[in-house]
Structure 1
């Protein structure tokens, strides 16, 4: 064991002992509140890198740490997974009224790889300074793990009981396919989610501060009510193999390159789903603009008027198809008979069949395709009491909050839980930092989250979970 790993393990044990001591010895009339920033930093120190294709590290250690905290607080969590290296933690908190439909809170423990040489600090040091918590996973999504865990520990310390059953899942493998995390839980342990009607997870409920047409600030809080579908396909071109000095037809590499050029450069038609339309209309209205969404020019102008809030709108007004992986050949003077590529396709709700038909036309003859993975788009109601309660919790914290629904361009574990009939929302709340700091570095370098936003986010989350 390296010195750094030994030191991190020792720190994990010291924090676990400290938390358990505080839980056991607090005065009932003044229960100890969890330090959510310190908890987030400690979770970052677990290197839970997910390299994909079943290769990861650290998830089991992080899961055991959380499992120990919850057991020490008096809960009855389950530690489970397809093998001893890929663990998740699931706990059901009984509500005062067991007849009410339950709510799922899900957050993933794994993170994408970090390249330390590009960072200004150790990605897994879990440093707190200058008003930030720094490290890989700070904002994707050990912030939500910390906020949720802090809420459960606070409830245990104060004897708080929610109105309804709250099922909490801290899961592995979200940053890949979910086969070792949410998808495995749904397939092998669907009984854990009996009675659950709705779920909240990452990507939504965080403050975005914009400037209105009159110069006044607009506190926008987008809540995800849908996600584009994920269609990962592998395409294969077949041709005639031969000597590199004697060109042959058909040439598998040339066929594949031409097909990828058509797929990658295709401009998908403008498609305004109800969720995306609502997001653009409500956001521009809050900014003081009258959006004209009757044509391409009007949509483009509206998205530009939204400022930073227009980024996600620009992604979700169309489907997308992006070639990402190429495989062909083994020697420079040999023409290969087969060439393959992987393509990442994202389809808006209601467009999957049309999207695949278009892909087949773009690929053309001589190209076959197969699914690597397929998770359909998700869509949940903005008229539900779940959405109303999220908006209410945000408004209680920030009376100036403008809560709007939006559609995610990417995807989350919501796609795994939605087939169970669960309405899924992206709600991982974060208040605005008073000194205008903001989360940054997701899947990039120098990832960080403001301490003030973590603290306010945990208060909003606790408020929502207690009231919903």
Structure 2
């Protein structure tokens, strides 16, 4: 008699929905603070975690460093139709620093509380990193290919302009992006409540960045003397003019489309020449009004001051930093205004400049993003919007890659999502992550 041993069924692998929260927690617990001066821990530990997560399902990702510890990871997923242009699906592994004393939880403990994951990076953008990893792992385990080739990338240094991350990759490893024409990353696809109706904001534009150093030089001397050429006075006047300047409203095509959509949902009037009507529509966006309110005009905020070494010594030099964010299509005129406000005694030195972006709210990819949201939330409105900050899509644009912000999250109406970017007590609902992986999985299958 021959006996047959019956082996137990192998354990089922967790689905993307089942493991996205764990992955997000793991990433939150890795401190990747980016101080912008090279003093942080770097992204290497997080990059190695990503490598292990991808290796585990049989992929062969590549880790590369632009400088010691400044690590990025990339892997290419072959698509069902390799003749189509590739899609770049990218996130960044670094986070802005967190002052633990300001938080109600340890910002790097990855704590789950009240159905939310708390920690620095929970919304910017380890939530999306986790969603990407979870979806990719599930697709590979199930033997499914995306509709077209997908370049999956996790970059270093986005929070300091991408010099050691996406920008470095574009300059030194452009072959990674061979054949890619479109990209998806932060910050869009999240829901907002507008007059009791749920809408999703899909990011199709972002402001240009102009981080500027103002330098005033004058006559150094004794603090007790009359000095008409005081560098501190020159600088302070320039900083005050820039900080107090009221930029006029300038409505770009993306913002115009958003405001028209909000007007339809709320029955509020919209006149692009009437600031009061614009303000009312922006206010109707609730917590998201903070994001949108900064995109109806240029902004220029003084952020740093430095001068002198003793109370009774007039220094010969004084410096300040300005963070200017300039609207797509209007950057030159915005910069010209700043130059006029600075005046004759102060010169401008660039710290970091980067382009603005504005891309079409139409086409097959946009249609697929909207359809993926509607599959999970039928009847919801999807509107384009402009991001007041910047993303790594700026770097990819140098290769002719059209970038969108789409990190899909269905959020509670009362959660101040936009306020948590670089804020205190950053957190994301677990249910939102599960929603996001369902949308993202569908998108990769169909786009």
For residues 165 and 154 of structure 2, the distance between their equivalents in structure 1, rounded to whole angstroms, comes to: 9
> Residue 183 of structure 2 corresponds to which residue in structure 1?
199
Select the residue among 138, 141, 144 that pairs with 1:154. Answer: 138
Select the residue among 116, 129, 132 that pairs with 1:132. Answer: 116
Shift of 1:58: 4.7
Change (3 A) 1:365 1:437: closer
Residue 105 of structure 2 is aligned to residue 121 of structure 1:
yes
Q: Is the 8 A contact 1:229 1:347 kept in 2?
A: yes
Q: Provide the aligned C-alpha RMSD in A.
A: 1.8
Shift of 1:26: 8.4
> Residue 11 of structure 1 corresponds to which residue in structure 2?
none
Residue 270 of structure 2 is aligned to residue 288 of structure 1:
no
> Residue 15 of structure 1 corresponds to which residue in structure 2?
none
**Which 5+ residue runs of structure 1 have no aligned equivalent?**
1-24, 212-216
Q: Is the 8 A contact 2:262 2:281 kept in 1?
A: no
Residue 91 of structure 2 is aligned to residue 107 of structure 1:
yes
Q: Is the 8 A contact 1:285 1:291 kept in 2?
A: no
> Residue 73 of structure 1 corresponds to which residue in structure 2?
57
Select the residue among 166, 170, 174 that pairs with 1:182. Answer: 166
Q: Is the 8 A contact 1:237 1:253 kept in 2?
A: yes
Q: Is the 8 A contact 1:292 1:302 kept in 2?
A: no
> Residue 347 of structure 1 corresponds to which residue in structure 2?
326
Change (3 A) 1:358 1:27: same
For residues 103 and 339 of structure 2, the distance between their equivalents in structure 1, rounded to whole angstroms, comes to: 42
SS in 1 for 2:423: coil
SS in 2 for 1:420: coil
1:250-301 residue CA offsets vs partner (Å, 9 max, x unmatched): 1111011111111111111110000001111112212232322232233223
Change (3 A) 1:133 1:197: same
Select the residue among 451, 456, 463 that pairs with 2:430. Answer: 451
Select the residue among 7, 15, 35 that pairs with 1:33. Answer: 15
> Residue 8 of structure 1 corresponds to which residue in structure 2?
none
Q: Is the 8 A contact 1:329 1:335 kept in 2?
A: yes
Select the residue among 127, 146, 158 that pairs with 1:143. Answer: 127
TM-score, normalised with respect to structure 1: 0.90
> Residue 228 of structure 1 corresponds to which residue in structure 2?
207
Moved more, 165-174 or 295-304: 295-304
TM-score, normalised with respect to structure 2: 0.94
Q: How does 1:14-29 map to 2 (within 5 A)?
A: 27=10
Moved more, 160-169 or 68-77: 68-77
> Residue 380 of structure 1 corresponds to which residue in structure 2?
359
Shift of 1:208: 1.2
The number of aligned residues is: 437
Shift of 1:437: 5.8
> Residue 421 of structure 1 corresponds to which residue in structure 2?
400
**Which 5+ residue runs of structure 2 have no aligned equivalent?**
1-7
Q: Is the 8 A contact 2:193 2:286 kept in 1?
A: no
Select the residue among 202, 220, 232 that pairs with 1:253. Answer: 232
Shift of 1:129: 2.9
Q: Is the 8 A contact 1:438 1:450 kept in 2?
A: no
1:407-458 residue CA offsets vs partner (Å, 9 max, x unmatched): 011111111111111111110001245x966757332222211010010111
For residues 336 and 425 of structure 2, the distance between their equivalents in structure 1, rounded to whole angstroms, comes to: 41
Shift of 1:84: 3.3
For residues 207 and 177 of structure 1, the distance between their equivalents in structure 2, rounded to whole angstroms, comes to: 27
> Residue 248 of structure 2 corresponds to which residue in structure 1?
269
